[in-house]
């Protein structure tokens, strides 16, 4: 038989209202610490389980947060990837990291549950059925942000992940992709490379993150006073530029793009880092095996998701909308070397 709150109160020697205040988990109630501890221990000893439905009726909240994972697909054309299964590589890393970050933050903050909705194809109204108090939406920048626009007037707080472009009044957490692009490029410049190519769709792709990564590349190149190379997204064109002495190093906009660079160079009898130094972006699962160890910009996806949960909880507590960019950092392995070492071979 289910233990009632009155039984806990009787056993603890306090009123039912005191038990309710202590077990609600909310702060601000004037209950002595020793009394609160006694109530919690009695509740555990008796096996008391709070009635979530009744609590929701009283507070008008469920305590649950909704999570929408927009589909993440390949960031590179199949023709450039050879045998690499881009979809599985991205999903095993990015989505997994997102879920790990969400879970860790929810546990830390005592969020009762995360309701995970499948992304794509659902009516925006389906997220407003009262099941959750707020929404975290992990965006796919390659598909646009139609869901954010559809929910811009929603009566619940929303935090967007993986984008800087959100409607007014909506919060967002993203990685500083432009800073990451500049970081990768500066590292190659510090190694003595002045003929650095950006490999990927970049600005021409229309993808928010790739555009910002190319901007970071250009920013670093211009600050160093060296010529900016036109973005390359074709293995044959890259090989021609390398053989013409126009390129000694490459910043690839993703680790998958870096893998495509390695494949193209290998087919031409060239290698990384002996002939071309290479830096990627994302630090995907398996990056340590690309070119014997890919130097890459770490993409803090788990940290981004955790910050999103914290931000959403603060929004529910009355904090106004805000935006946050997380700084990436460089993971140095063996795919890049000094320009002098390349020339000596």
327: confidence class by pLDDT, cuts 50, 70, 90: very high
104: confidence class by pLDDT, cuts 50, 70, 90: very high
Could you report the per-residue pLDDT of 186-220, keeping only the tens digit for each? 999 999 999 999 999 999 998 999 999 999 999 99
29: confidence class by pLDDT, cuts 50, 70, 90: low
- Percent of the chain at pLDDT above 90? 59
Could you report the per-residue pLDDT of 253-307, keeping only the tens digit for each? 999 999 999 999 999 999 999 999 999 999 988 899 999 999 999 999 999 999 9
Inform me whether the pLDDT recorded for 34 exceeds 90: no
Asked if CATH classification 3.40.190.10 holds for the domain at 64-175+300-327, the reply, yes or no, is no
User: If we measure between CA atoms, which residue out of 66, 129, 73, 131 comes closest to residue 102?
Assistant: 66
Q: How many residues does the chain have?
A: 345
What's the confidence (pLDDT) of residue 2?
A: 74
Residue 279's H or E segment, with its range, is strand 277-282
What is the residue extent of each domain of the chain?
Answer: 5-50, 64-175+300-327, 177-299+331-343
Same fold for the pair 64-175+300-327 and 177-299+331-343: yes
Question: CB of 183 within 8 A of CB of 216?
Answer: yes
What's the confidence (pLDDT) of residue 248?
A: 97
The sign of the torsion formed by the CA atoms of 120, 124, 128, 129 equals negative
Could you report the per-residue pLDDT of 35-58, keeping only the tens digit for each? 888 888 888 888 877 654 445 434
What's the confidence (pLDDT) of residue 232?
A: 96
CATH label, 177-299+331-343, candidates 3.90.700.10, 3.10.100.10, 3.30.1330.120, 3.40.50.2300: 3.40.50.2300
């Amino acid at each position: 038989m289910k233990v009632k709150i009155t039984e806990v109160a009787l056993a603890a020697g306090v009123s039912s209202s005191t038990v309710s205040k202590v077990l609600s988990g909310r702060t601000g109630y004037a209950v002595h610490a020793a009394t609160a501890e006694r109530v919690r221990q009695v509740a555990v000893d008796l096996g008391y389980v709070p009635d979530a439905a009744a609590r929701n009726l009283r507070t008008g909240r469920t305590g649950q947060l909704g999570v929408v994972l927009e589909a993440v697909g390949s960031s590179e054309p199949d023709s450039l990837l050879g045998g690499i299964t881009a979809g599985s590589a991205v999903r095993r890393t990015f989505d997994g990291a997102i879920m790990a970050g969400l879970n860790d933050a929810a546990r830390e903050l005592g969020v009762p549950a995360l309701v995970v909705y499948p992304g794509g194809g659902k009516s925006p109204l389906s997220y407003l059925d009262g099941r959750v108090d707020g929404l975290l939406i992990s965006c796919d920048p390659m598909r646009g942000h139609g869901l954010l626009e559809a929910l811009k007037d929603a009566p619940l707080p929303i935090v967007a992940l993986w984008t800087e472009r959100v409607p007014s009044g909506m919060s967002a957490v993203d990685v500083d992709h432009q800073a990451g692009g500049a970081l990768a490029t500066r590292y190659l410049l510090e190694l003595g490379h002045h003929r650095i190519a950006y490999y990927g769709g970049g600005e021409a792709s229309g993808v928010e993150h790739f555009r910002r990564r190319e901007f970071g590349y250009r920013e670093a190149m211009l600050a160093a006073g060296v010529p900016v190379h036109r973005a390359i997204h074709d293995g044959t064109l890259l090989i021609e530029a390398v053989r013409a002495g126009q390129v000694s190093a490459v910043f690839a906009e993703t680790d998958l793009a870096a893998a495509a660079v390695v494949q193209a160079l290998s087919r031409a009898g060239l290698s990384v880092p002996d002939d071309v130094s290479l830096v990627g972006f994302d630090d995907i699962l398996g990056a340590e095996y690309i070119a014997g160890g890919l130097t890459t910009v770490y993409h803090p996806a788990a940290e981004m998701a955790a910050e999103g949960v914290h931000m959403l909880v603060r929004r529910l507590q009355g904090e106004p909308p805000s935006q946050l960019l997380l700084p990436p950092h460089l993971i140095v392995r063996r795919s890049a070397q000094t320009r002098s070492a390349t020339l000596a071979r």
